[in-house]
Amino acid sequence: MYNPKSRKAEEFIDHQEILDSLAYADAHKRDAAVIDAILEKARLRKGLTHREASVLLACELEDKNQEIFALARQIKKDFYGDRIVMFAPLYLSNYCVNGCLYCPYHAKNKHIPRKKLTQEEIRAEVIALQDMGHKRLALEAGEDPVHNPLEYILESIHTIYSIQHKNGAIRRVNVNIAATSVEDYRKLKEAGIGTYILFQETYHKESYEKLHPTGPKSNYAYHTEAHDRAMEGGIDDVGLGVLFGLELYRYEFAGLLMHAEHLEAVFGVGPHTISVPRVCPADDIDPGDFDNGISDDIFAKIVACIRVAVPYTGMIISTRESQAVRERVLGLGVSQISGGSRTSVGGYAEAEPEEESSAQFDVSDHRSLDEIVRWLMELGYVPSFCTACYREGRTGDRFMSLCKAGQIQNCCLPNALMTLKEYLEDYAAPATRAAGEQVIAKQLEYITNPKVKEIVTEHLAQIAQGQRDFRF
């Protein structure tokens, strides 16, 4: 029985409720009156239910689809302005005991080189990332209690935060590791992590169990309930995601939003981020082996419908996707992107030989961080390296309340401009720096509070003189 307040995975992600929602969406996919009513509700910026959003995703009326895209663009603009947050993944280890059929780290893969970074190697990787200009990392590691115990993750986080190199510093470490216990999540919180990210891969329980035949991850309930345990352990910000292509995309979409509704119902705050990866080529993985791949057009509509359904939730897209696809979805809802990424264990300090690749997946966007920063500015966006909310305690329900009240804008644009100025001063190529100075001058005009504008202008001048790390 479907119950969003239940703490049992099969009750807050109820199979029959998803099937009923998809049937309802099919029945109304050409019903202009129903679609108009849902769009009218969405314009209030208070979100949609999984069933309402499923109708929009199924909609076959072209004029209404254009309204969905237009509304997604407007909501994205309203809540995020022109800002795009930058981050990079850092893979610590690809040792893994699970048998996931879509991931080359699976335990039966005997020809992928297994690697684990030492603390000294982590230090070298972090310095290389700092020299690129990154301030925010997402830690990744396979599940292996012998090679990758929690103590190793905690030590690695401590190492990362301890490194001050020139003007570089990693100010926020997000963590994407296997489901664990409340006690372990409490330790991660104490270590100072930002967001705890865990992808569901698929919400379809039968498919999930087939795709995860062996290893701890094969326990559907334990995995699906992990975000609850993380929030019980004091982690304010959690990130959701599915791997589109494993199961029917409309099923996954409904399950993803049901999970968000569950967190809101139980903890009073939904996910901080939602990621939208698609199955892509990897060491011994062929996307053609999976029957549910989605086109770029469907992918764009998924992003738009998520943005309309959960206006306050950040959306992440990685270098799995090409430049063209990333450009298309930036305006529809994506608010965070990776840049200059390596999906192998190491690879930032010293390039990994192709024949020794330890990558989890093939990268489609190979541009450097500086090239991506300049590209974003050319598109009219403001690349942001801001980590202020996390460091000022504006997380969880505190962040959401400010966001819903529209007050977060008083912090976000000023912080984005100041961190962009830091990047321009310390890391940018001359052409990027010139473009960035123009962006800052233009965006300053959008700060309507005279006092805030005065403070930002003063801090920008101080950054040019060598000072760093101002924030609202």
Query: Is this structure's pTM higher than 0.75?
Result: yes
Altogether, the residues listed in the chain come to a count of 472
Query: Looking at residue 194, what is its pLDDT?
Result: 96
Q: Is 249 helix (H, G, I), strand (E, B) or coil?
A: helix
CA 357 to chain centre: 24
Q: What is the rounded CA–CA span in Å between residue 47 and residue 446?
A: 26
Q: Which two tokens stand for residue 248?
A: 């029917």
Rounding to the nearest 10 degrees, give the CA dihedral for residues 300, 304, 309, 315: 80
Distance of CA 454 to the CA centre of its chain: 33
Q: Who's near 360: CB < 8 A, 6+ residues apart? A: 91, 94, 103, 104, 105, 140, 282, 343, 344
Cα angle value 384/386/387 (rounded, 5°): 150
H or E element that contains 89:
strand 83-93
Tell me whether residue 295 is exposed, middle or buried, using C-beta atoms within 10 angstroms of its C-beta: 0 to 12, 13 to 18, 19 or more.
Answer: exposed
pLDDT score at 409: 65
Question: Pseudo-torsion of CA 252, 16, 263, 402, nearest 10°?
Answer: 70
**Domain extents in the chain:** 77-366, 389-464
CA distance between the termini of the chain: 46
Q: Are 216 and 210 contacting, i.e. CB atoms less than 8 angstroms apart?
A: no
What digits encode the pLDDT tens for the residues 410-421? 789 999 999 999
Q: What is the pLDDT of residue 104?
A: 87
Residue 202 falls in which region: left (phi positive, over 0), alpha (psi -120 to 50) or beta: beta
Kindly give the residue spans of alpha helices, DSSP state H, lying in 105-235.
Answer: 119-132, 150-162, 182-190, 205-211, 220-224, 226-232
Fold of 77-366: TIM Barrel (3.20.20)
Backbone angles phi, psi at 332, to 5 degrees: -90, -15
The confidence score (pLDDT) of residue 359 equals 60
Closest to 453 measured CA to CA, from 406, 401, 418, 428 = 418
Q: Which ranges of 310-395 would DSSP assign to H, the alpha helix? A: 323-330, 369-378, 388-391
With a cut of 50, which residues of the chain have pLDDT below it?
A: none
Q: What is the pLDDT of residue 141?
A: 97
Dump pLDDT digits (tens) for 16-67: 999 999 999 999 999 999 999 999 999 999 999 999 999 999 999 999 999 9
Residue where the block lists tokens 């809101």: 264
Encode pLDDT of 187-226 as tens digits: 999 999 999 999 999 999 999 999 999 999 999 999 999 9
CA distances 400 to 203, 272, 385, 406, Å, are: 26, 9, 20, 10
Q: How many CB atoms lie within 10 A of CB 106?
A: 22
Number of Cα atoms under 13 Å in the Cβ half of residue 13: 24
| DSSP class of 82 | T
Sequence letter at residue 399: F
β-pair partners for 93: 116, 141
Question: Encoding tokens for residue 217?
Answer: 């991850």
Q: Contact 136/171 with Cβ under 8 angstroms?
A: yes
